[in-house]
Structure 1
Amino acid sequence: MTTKREFEAIAHKEGKWWQIRIHQINQAARASRAKDIQDIAADLVATTLNLDPEDVTVHVTLRAPGNIMERWTQARNDLEKAQELSTKGAAESRAVIAELSEDFTITEVARMLGISTQRVSQLKAKKAPTA
């Protein structure tokens, strides 16, 4: 039984072609379609190293053009921060409702805060999510 050898390939689009680079064997190839990259990369490794294609595993990473990944990472970070702020805002809203409800009626709290009595009741009934 032969152990599979693993390789890393990086592919990026240049014009209408996907450029494939496998640094471990200092070789490159290209593909016209993304779905062909995996097979082409595995064939390149097997041919270059005179291996059986069944003994080769190539992990392919597709690189986005330009600063797309930076923008993607920033967008994901922004969404995470927004979720944290939303959670914090919801907890504080419940705390304010609870505090006001000690001294005022639901109707009075609703009028003070400019929300419906139904919303006051909902916020009073909600428990903070457990971590």
Structure 2
Amino acid sequence: MPQKREFEAIAHKEGKWWEIHIHELDRVTQASRTKDIQAMATDLAAVVLDVDPDEVTVHVTLRPPGDVMERWSQARADLERAQELSAKGAAESRAIVAELSKDFTITEVARMLGISTQRVSQLKAKKANEA
């Protein structure tokens, strides 16, 4: 049996239709429903190459409209940065509580920082557990 040929295809919505483009073959087809995209892409490659559909594999990527991917990437980067800042803020909070706790009571530290004594205890415990 001949080796399967593999292709990449991009599908994007054009009005009511999904337009499927296999760049390597410089061919386009359409599908009316998402569930038909894979079959249509495979059939297109098979017809162009004049082979059985079992002899080709087409990996289809759905492309969202407009600037959605750019916005998605920025949102993911923002979330990653927020997580980094949150971790940094938490570490600094623990360090401050540990520093103040050397010279002040839990109640004094809580009043200075405007947090509960329970929160001071939690921050101290987290610092102790991480050591």
TM exceeds 0.5?
Answer: yes
Preserved contact between residue 91 and residue 128 of structure 1 (Cα < 8 Å): no
Q: Which residue of 2 aligns with 1:119?
A: 119
Secondary structure of the 1:126 match is: helix
Stretches of structure 2 that go unaligned for 5 or more consecutive residues are none
Stretches of structure 1 that go unaligned for 5 or more consecutive residues are none
Measure the CA separation in 1 of the matches of 2:94 and 2:25. 60
Secondary structure of the 1:84 match is: helix
Count of aligned positions: 130
Measure the CA separation in 2 of the matches of 1:57 and 1:118. 60
Deviations 1:96-125 (A, max 9, x none): 000000000101100110100000000001
Length-normalised TM-score, structure 2: 0.94
Q: Which residue of 1 aligns with 2:46?
A: 46
Letter in 2 for 1:17: W
CA root-mean-square deviation = 1.5
Secondary structure of the 1:7 match is: strand
Secondary structure of the 1:43 match is: helix
> Taking every aligned residue pair, what percent have the same amino acid on both sides?
74
Length-normalised TM-score, structure 1: 0.94
Q: Which residue of 2 aligns with 1:92?
A: 92
Structure 1 runs (4+) deviating above 2 angstroms are: 127-130
Letter in 2 for 1:97: V
